Amino acid sequence: MGVRFRRQEPIGPFIADFACLKARIIVEVDGDTHTDPARDRRRDRWFQDHGWFVLRFWDEYVLDQTDDALNLIDLALHDRDAVPDPLNLEP
């Protein structure tokens, strides 16, 4: 993809699962223990308000459809408006 993502990157009051500082993209990978979607929405809003683009995936999707997840990340690098919500994609 030509960019570098850092793992467990501190950003403001949060730690992003993966962050590309150059492109200002955050990738969050959620498992079934993620039980507070309201907290995730507040967190994502904070990132967005500070100029970050957030992609949030289910962990099963990343594991089972790795190429598709990578394609969505690559799409976000080039055309953020064309990226569907990964949480609504089937694992």
| pLDDT for the residue 91 | 45
Summarize the confidence of residues 23-49 as an average pLDDT. 87
Q: pLDDT digits over 57-76, tens only?
A: 989 999 999 999 999 999 99
The pLDDT, as a whole number, for residue 86 is 61
Indicate the pTM of the whole model: 0.85
User: Would you state the pLDDT for residue 81?
Assistant: 82
- Taking a C-beta distance cutoff of 8 angstroms, is the pair 30, 58 a contact? yes
> Among 5-9, 10-14, 37-41, 81-85, which stretch is predicted with the lowest mean pLDDT?
81-85
27: how many CB neighbours lie within 10 A of its CB? 22
Q: Which residue ranges make up each domain of the chain?
A: 6-82
Tokens 């690559």 belong to which residue? 74
